Structure 1
Amino acid sequence: MTHVIAQGTFDILHPGHAHYLRDAASMGDRLTVIVARRENVTHKEPPVLSNRQRRDMVEALAMVDDARVGHAEDIFVPIEDLDPDVIALGYDQQHDAAAIEEELARRGVDCEVRRASPRDARDDELLSSRAIADRICDERC
């Protein structure tokens, strides 16, 4: 059985998230999603929704076998615990795959790091939580 891990913030679920997680699920037989803790999101604005709520929403998706909130101090701890075969990075996630592979090797975790495929927006579709929030503010605030 090939175990895949995907990770992300998943603040407001949108078609880009669904595409990423479907793609990640297709890389193996079991998909576990690690939802970033609010306090660990430093590369963009922190999520609006709570850790638990974001985890619950991701776990409700059909392609996801398990979802958990990430570790408070060390993002690699859940990966060490789960010992996956593949880590699926989102197409546009700002992660350095080579640096991740180096840290995994240093920790003795033998798994492949792969990128999900891109998904082009269709019609007037919004593929980022920030774009959805901006549109809500533009139209409702």
Structure 2
Amino acid sequence: MQKKVKVLVGGVFDIIHPGHIYFLKRAKELGDELIVVIARDSTVIKKKGRKPILPENIRKEIVEALKPVDRAVLGYEEGDIYKIVEEVKPDIIALGYDQDLDPKELEKELSKRGLNVKVVRIDKYNHKLAATRRIISKIVQEVCANEKENRNC
């Protein structure tokens, strides 16, 4: 029996948009099983300087329901990616175009830890609404255009 190829990805996945779907589909094509690590709220605050719109458990539930995803797990509070990689033991890690890790450096660091994992980068999905910040801006713009008396606009 042939071993299933496990692919691991990670991200915030706040307000799912076409870029997320593209990323997850491309990652799933790399193997048989796609495991998604959802960033903890505390990690998002540390890295992005803001709270996510949706809490971590809701983001996990939404991602788990997506067709390409076999399993979603919450990351660790301290954001230690190596700990989760050691637990999941993926064959491949797929990085998003906007994730600041260097694939070769990550492969080297994983190798030092006795983990033989291929690291690849998924290309960008080009669409004007393929970013959470853009979607939030569009929502605010539309609400303000339709509610001229709204004091928050």
State the match for 1:43 in structure 2: 47
Superposition misfits of 4+ residues, deviation over 6 angstroms: none
Letter of the structure 1 residue corresponding to residue 76 of structure 2: H
Corresponding residue to 1:13 among 4, 13, 16: 16
Q: How far apart are the structure 2 equivalents of 1:22 and 1:113?
A: 16
CA distance in structure 1 between the partners assigned to 2:88 and 2:77 by the alignment:
16
* Structure-2 separation of matches of 1:78 and 1:130: 27
Corresponding position of 2:147: none
SS of 2:81's partner is: coil
Identity %: 41
1:73-92 equivalence runs, <5 A: 73=78, 74-92=80-98
Q: Tell me the amino acid that sits aligned with residue 138 of structure 2.
A: R
Larger-Rg structure? 2
> Normalising by structure 1, what TM-score?
0.91
* In 1, Cα distance between equivalents of 2:47 and 2:102: 13
Q: Count residues with an aligned counterpart.
A: 138
The residue aligned with 2:58 is: 53
Gaps of 5+ in 1: none
SS of equivalent to 1:76: helix
Unpaired segments ≥5 residues, structure 2 = 145-153
Q: CA RMSD in A?
A: 1.3
CA distance in 2, matches of 1:37, 1:102: 26
Aligned to 2:130: 127
TM-score (norm 2): 0.84
Q: What is the CA–CA distance in structure 2 between the aligned matches of 1:47 and 1:96, rounded to whole Å?
A: 25
